[in-house]
Amino acid sequence: MSRRKKIYEGAAKILYEGPEPGTLIQHFKDDGIALNTQKQEIIEGKGVINNRISEFVMTNLNAIGVPTHFIRRINMREQLIREVEVIPLEIKCRNVAAGSFCERLGLPEGQILPRSIVEFYFKTEQGNVTLVSEEHVTAFNWASTQEIDDIIALTLRVNDFLYGMFSAVGIRLVDFRVEYGRLYENDMARTVLADEISPDSCRLWDVLDNNNRLDKDRFRQDRGMIGEAYTEVARRLGIVKDHRLVAAQNEGA
Ligand code: TMP
């Protein structure tokens, strides 16, 4: 498709060399992958929707002073981002018990948590994502204590912002996963939000019907209508108007 140098290809995204030093192009694919790659499927239009939702969220987070790697959207599937040194952790923030949290602690799905909980996970070379403590994070030098503090504070700010944004359109933010990177400016490293925020990385339940899942659980649990659910999130946020518009934009991507 292009002669740009590919830097990295993951399950749902590709990173290409950017037009200027210190920049990258983040390309959103339609691939759905879950259960440690055992489940794979093309979800038509997913990349287009996730690019738009992530642009919307990152732009608003930048506006309230949460530093992110996002610079601007380039086209329907791609965005220009700052190149960061990836902090090798996945950070999950939970408001309501669901998914692996229920399995680990034996809690019923849907139980409201006493407060928002921020967790650290490490992805092993074998691809297993494991819950780790702050002790592990500092002992293995994955992040410093200052970075841990920054990550927790930023994640709680992101949570407050997202919770309010989704509540306003009748969606309950159950949990989400984010990643961070180091942005070097004159020898100083700043912790910035990286990767994406989209229905691939959040649990989003319709407030009027907890069983109406508007996120990747539709794919993980074979509930179907995945593209429609993601489009519904974008439509409620006022990012896209309807399915036909998305389909037309998709053809032009
Ligand atoms: P979990 O309950 O399966 O640990 O997931 C918590 C949140 O993290 C949920 O919003 C989905 C998101 N997540 C990802 O973004 N990528 C993943 O690989 C997994 C397992 C979860």
Instruction: Let me know the angle formed at the C-alpha of 212 by 172 and 61, rounded to the nearest 5 degrees.
Output: 30
Residue pLDDT, tens place only, 22-71: 999 999 999 999 877 789 999 999 999 999 999 999 999 999 999 999 99
Tell me what percent of the residues of the chain surpass a pLDDT of 90: 87
92 CB under 6 A from ligand 1? yes
Residue pLDDT, tens place only, 224-240: 999 999 999 999 999 98
- Let me know if 182 is exposed, middle or buried by CB neighbors in 10 A (0-12, 13-18, 19+): middle
pLDDT at 243: 56
To the question of pTM greater than 0.85 for the whole model, the response is yes
CA of residue 177 to ligand 1 center, whole Å: 6
Residue whose CB lies within 8 A of the most ligand 1 atoms, among 129, 193, 201, 205, for a mutation test = 201
Domains of the chain: 85-206 (3.30.470.20)
Lowest mean pLDDT among 5-9, 12-16, 135-139, 249-253: 249-253
Residue pLDDT, tens place only, 58-89: 999 999 999 999 999 999 999 999 999 999 99
Please check whether residue 58 is in contact with residue 81, taking contact to mean a CB–CB distance below 8 angstroms.
no
Q: Taking the mean position of all CA atoms in its chain, how far away is CA 244?
A: 25
Residue 9 pLDDT grade (very low, low, confident, very high; cuts 50, 70, 90): very high
Please check whether residue 4 is in contact with residue 16, taking contact to mean a CB–CB distance below 8 angstroms.
yes
Q: Are strands 171-185 and 188-194 parallel, antiparallel or unpaired?
A: antiparallel
Residue whose CB lies within 8 A of the most ligand 1 atoms, among 13, 37, 92, 93, for a mutation test = 92
Lowest mean pLDDT among 1-10, 129-138, 180-189, 193-202: 1-10
Residue of the CA atom closest to atom 2 of ligand 1: 99
pLDDT at 248: 55
Residue of the CA atom closest to atom 18 of ligand 1: 34
Question: Residue 251 CB: number of other CB atoms within 10 A?
Answer: 9
Partners of 112 in the β-ladder: 96
Question: Residue 200 CB: number of other CB atoms within 10 A?
Answer: 26
Question: Residue 205 CB: number of other CB atoms within 10 A?
Answer: 22
User: Residue range 131-154: average pLDDT?
Assistant: 98
Q: H/E/C letters for each residue in 176-228?
A: EEEEEEEEEECCEEEEEEECCCCCCCEEEEECCEEEEECCCHHHHCCCCCHHH
User: Residue range 213-231: average pLDDT?
Assistant: 95
**Ligand 1 atom closest to Cα of residue 98:** 2
Tell me what percent of the residues of the chain surpass a pLDDT of 70: 94
150 CB under 6 A from ligand 1? no
CA of residue 99 to ligand 1 center, whole Å: 8
